[in-house]
Amino acid sequence: MMASGEIRLSSTTMRRMPVLAQSQNPRNTGCPNGTIAHVASTIIQLGQATQAAGQATAAAGTVLAIGGAIASATVVGAPAGAPTAAFGLTAIGVGGATTLVGNGLQLVGGYVMSTQGNGQPLYAAELQAAQTLIETILDVPALPIGDPSDPLVNQLAGQNPCP
Amino acid sequence: MQEPSKRFRAVMLAIYAIAGVALIYEGLRTRFSNGFFGLLLPIASIGMLRFLIVLKVIELPPWFRMGFVNQAPKYGEFTKAAACFVAALLWTVIAVRLVSDTPLGATILFAPPVLLLIAMGVFVMRALFL
């Protein structure tokens, strides 16, 4: 009798288990070396830094925009409220554009890295680009409280096996 | 759109004040950064901001013009930005198969897409602010 919770494999899967155990994750087949791989790695890091700077700018802009709007609407004769809100909205736009450039750099670097043998950076960049796209469509601004979809994206992307 | 009356303005601000207090209370009990509230709160914040701008409860400075906020974005500039992005990816896909693994090859491979992506960022900003 089978115990509760036990997973029963088919006879075909059981026969192929030794082969499956030897197979590697096709996304992470090795750590590339060479000039192009080094430059690609630098481009990926530059893209990550650019994306982080863009997200921080947009987050600061969101706080300024909402703070300025509240000051403008509630405090009678608050002359700095409207310009602060306008400055914050500008920072949201600039931050959003910078984030897109960072995403693009990671995609370019990640694609080249995948042709050299390490597919993890491209996979991570694709997930982040999808996250940015979905949040742009949903009109989710960056806020300094943390993005609720970050843990999922990080878990799906996994760790880069190469230094 | 007409200037909102003082009464309308007071009602709108009272609604937002009650919503704000409710959110702060909920935030003290749970964590906003995780789950559904973490996604809903920022959407609601920008939605509130736009609503107040459209109703003229908040008046932005007359010199301020931004796409999606108080004017239509320039879709032509967005098209140029998208073209730059596609061109950068296409160049990368094609050039990586042609160049050699040398400093010159890396320059030929990476310089055009990096410049195209910077141009994409400039076009996105032009679409929003010009």
| Measured CA angle at B112 (ends B107, B115), to 5 deg | 115
> What gap in Å lies between CA B101 and CA A60, rounded to an integer?
41
The pLDDT of A45-58, averaged and rounded, is 87
Look at B88 and A36 and tell me if their CB atoms are within 8 Å: no
Instruction: For residue range B98-128, list pLDDT tens digits in order.
Output: 999 999 999 999 999 999 999 999 999 999 8
Look at B45 and A66 and tell me if their CB atoms are within 8 Å: yes
CA of A156: how far to CAs of A125, B1, B13, B105, in Å?
11, 48, 42, 33
pLDDT confidence tier of residue A4, bands split at 50, 70 and 90:
very low
Look at B89 and A82 and tell me if their CB atoms are within 8 Å: no
pLDDT confidence tier of residue B48, bands split at 50, 70 and 90:
confident
pLDDT confidence tier of residue A3, bands split at 50, 70 and 90:
very low
Name B71's bridge partners. Answer: B67
| Measured CA angle at A89 (ends B121, B124), to 5 deg | 15
The domain segmentation of chain A, as residue ranges, is 34-157
The pLDDT of B39-43, averaged and rounded, is 59
Give contacts of B58 with chain A, Cβ < 8 Å.
69, 72-73, 81-82, 85
Of B52, B109, B117, the CB nearest to A36: B109
pLDDT of residue B118: 96
- pLDDT surpassing 60 at residue A142: no
A62-66, A147-151, B9-13: which range is least confident on average?
A147-151
The pLDDT of B7-30, averaged and rounded, is 70
Count of Cβ atoms closer than 10 Å to residue B44 Cβ: 13
Count of Cβ atoms closer than 10 Å to residue B15 Cβ: 11
Look at B42 and A39 and tell me if their CB atoms are within 8 Å: no
Please say whether the beta carbons of A62 and B42 come within 8 A.
Answer: yes
A interface test, pick of B49, B52, B53, B65 with most A CB neighbours within 10 Å: B49
Q: For chain B, what is the mean pLDDT?
A: 80
Of A86, A142, A147, the CB nearest to B61: A86
User: Which residue, A81, A93, A90, is CA-closest to B59?
Assistant: A81
Buried b (16+ CB within 10 A) or exposed e, A39-63: bbbebbebbbebbeebbbbbbbbbb
Give contacts of B41 with chain A, Cβ < 8 Å.
143, 145
Please say whether the beta carbons of B93 and A111 come within 8 A.
Answer: yes
pLDDT confidence tier of residue B18, bands split at 50, 70 and 90:
confident
Q: A52: distance to nearest CA of chain B, Å?
A: 15
DSSP conformational letter for A28: B
> What gap in Å lies between CA B114 and CA B118, rounded to an integer?
6
> Which residue's structure tokens are 């007359």?
B62
Coil, strand or helix: which one is B119? Answer: helix
pLDDT of residue A96: 84
Look at B61 and A82 and tell me if their CB atoms are within 8 Å: yes
pLDDT of residue B124: 92
Look at B32 and A90 and tell me if their CB atoms are within 8 Å: no
pLDDT of residue A127: 81
pTM given for the model? 0.72
The pLDDT of B80-109, averaged and rounded, is 94
Look at A141 and B9 and tell me if their CB atoms are within 8 Å: no
User: Which residue, A79, A143, A73, is CA-closest to B17?
Assistant: A73
Instruction: For residue range A94-118, list pLDDT tens digits in order.
Output: 988 898 899 899 999 999 988 887 7
